Amino acid sequence: MNRKLTNPLDITWIRSKIAQYVTLRDALSCILVCKDWFEDFIPSIWHTIDFKTQEKFTRLASEVISEHGHHIRVIKNLQSSLQLQCIQNSKVCKLRDLSIVVGSKPHYSAHCYDIMRRNNASLTSIRVSASQGSNTDMYFSIDPLFMGLSSSKLTYIKADSLTMTRDAFSSMLRMTPLLNTIDVRNTTLSSIPSTEIYQHPNVTTLVSPIKQVFSVDPQVPDSPSILRHFPNIAFWRTWDARTNNARTALDVSAHTIESEISQNCPLLVGIDTEYVGAHSVDLLTKCFEGLKSICVLHSQFSTELIMAILSHQETLESVSTYTMSDGIYESGEIPNINNHFQEKDWVIQMIPRSCSRLTSFKFMYHQMNMCDIGSSRWSCVELEYLHTRIAGLDTKEKINRAIQLWVEGRSRVKEVSTAPTTDHYGLPLEERVARHLLKFKKLKEVWLGTEIRRVG
């Protein structure tokens, strides 16, 4: 029986899947092929509107937006009346992610609320900030968003440079039961002594500088901290991405932080911070006990900071570093190595050697030496994620070869089960690296300088 061979691209559902991953330029080419291709690729073209990079969007005729606006799911950097006018179209009603700047002019703010309210049934993430120069007496309230019949699907909220009453903040939390991450920066929560402190049961991640957390109302210095609202947070990211300068001093005393956490956030086990020097050491050793996750600035690494990290070695599961100009994964190029702390590789080696519960070790800006790695056993046998550089793996070819040897070794079960526990110094570097990776049976994600390689 003869079967008619079908080109995979003739199948609608395959084209629809491919459309989710092509670039905007490629999608624009694909819609020109035929009507069927147009229908499959047009949603990806309209999926995300970023007014910072797509300035021409404001020139589109309202008829065009009416025809395709229902495809829009993400809007970024909406911050002018002209941009707002485009999105006011009633067909823009299925947004999932919205970043919007509200102003002090009543007419503009009213239309901002309309857009948020119209998309309440579909929004899962919202970022609201005040425009520069906004009247500080302009209060923001999320209540108007929930005047309709649809319950909120929001799981992420960011409030930046806003002024809210404490009651409005509590009301916002009460009306977003699915919320799990909240980001609060440079925001005033005006309160009175009898203000309600609503405690959200499902928020597990707080992104907010320490000063913001403990100084919510400049007019009332002893106002309850933001931590009071989130008894179940597990992770606190304290750094403010708007500033490129690391914090040089704790904004409140270590004792105050420790007391507030122990009383109100007993489940907090993860910290991401940018404090420097002795202040980062104080934060890790005096404010927290039994941390499972720590992320710190790479430029602030010191022997003292390593010792502070190791004070949590019995519970630590994840350690990572970052820089103020991250974007290391997106570039696809081998990043330059920062010379900071390179001569003390043996000190950093103490982390995987001492922390037996470690499952994630991400030191992208540090270059490890295989001689140091092989001199003593890593105790983190449950390791699943490893992101680091290896001295000598300085080209894409060498890095990819080492990773390929690891992948091939995993598929040979017998060889993996009998993988040597010591390094063979006479072997090529790529093979020595692969042999080291094979010691970790649960390892499923590796980055050595180019792209992330994941295995099942």
pLDDT tops 90 at residue 7: no
DSSP 187-240: -EEE--TT------SS--EEE--HHHHH-S-TT-TTPPPGGGG-TT--EEE---
User: With bands split at pLDDT 50, 70 and 90, how would you rate the model's confidence at 344?
Assistant: confident
Q: What pLDDT is recorded for position 124?
A: 96
Higher pLDDT pick, 158 / 412:
158
**What are the C-alpha distances in Å from 325 to residues 210, 243, 293, 341?**
21, 11, 21, 19
Burial class of residue 225 (count of CB atoms within 10 Å of its CB; 0-12, 13-18, 19+): buried
| pLDDT confidence bin for 55, thresholds 50/70/90 | confident
Percent pLDDT > 70 in the chain is 86
pLDDT at residue number 414:
47
Query: In the prediction, which pLDDT does 138 show?
Result: 55
Tell me the per-residue pLDDT of 92-135, one tens digit each, with 9 for 90 and over.
999 999 999 887 677 787 888 889 888 988 999 999 988 776 55
Query: Would you call 445 exposed, middle or buried from its count of C-beta atoms within 10 A (0-12, 13-18, 19+)?
Result: middle
Q: Which two tokens stand for residue 14?
A: 């395959």
- Residue 52: exposure state from Cβ atoms within 10 A (0-12, 13-18, ≥19): exposed
Instruction: Please indicate whether residue 11 or residue 330 has the higher confidence score (pLDDT).
Output: 11
* Separation of alpha carbons 241 and 239, rounded Å: 6
Block residue for tokens 């939390």 = 173
What per-residue confidence (pLDDT) applies to 416? 44
Q: How confident is the model at residue 149 (pLDDT cuts 50, 70, 90)?
A: low
Asked if residues 112 and 140 have their Cβ atoms less than 8 Å apart, the reply is no
Please report the pLDDT score of residue 191 as a whole number: 78
Which residues does residue 159 pair with via DSSP β-bridges, in sequence order? 128, 184
pLDDT band at 139 (very low <50, low <70, confident <90, very high): low
Across residues 336-344, what is the average pLDDT?
69
pLDDT at 411: 82
Q: Write down the mean pLDDT value for the chain.
A: 86
Higher pLDDT, 265 or 54: 265
What would the pLDDT profile of 284-316 be if each residue is shown by its tens digit? 999 999 999 999 988 778 889 999 999 999 999
Which pair of tokens denotes residue 15?
A: 């084209």
Least confident of 54-58, 123-127, 382-386, 396-400: 54-58
**pLDDT by residue (tens digit) across 240-287?**
655 555 565 667 899 999 999 999 999 999 999 877 667 889 999 999
C-alpha–C-alpha distance, residues 231 and 201, integer Å: 7
Is the pLDDT at 329 greater than 80? The verdict is no
> What are the residue ranges spanned by the domains of the chain?
1-46, 47-233
Name the burial class of residue 99, with classes exposed (0-12), middle (13-18) and buried (19+) by CB atoms within 10 angstroms of its CB.
buried
Contact at 8 Å (CB) between 283 and 271? Answer: yes
Q: What is the pLDDT of residue 434?
A: 95
What are the two backbone dihedrals, phi and then psi, of residue 363, each rounded to the nearest 5 degrees?
Answer: -120, 70
Give pLDDT, residue 319. 96
Q: Which residues pair with 48 in a beta bridge?
A: 74
Choose the weakest-confidence range: 5-19, 208-222, 290-304.
5-19
Residue 448, classified by CB atoms within 10 Å of its CB into exposed (0-12), middle (13-18) or buried (19+), is buried
Which pLDDT does position 307 carry in this prediction?
Answer: 94
Q: How confident is the model at residue 1 (pLDDT cuts 50, 70, 90)?
A: very low
What is the per-residue pLDDT for 273? 86
Beta-bridge mates of residue 453: 446
First vs last Cα of the chain: how many Å apart?
38
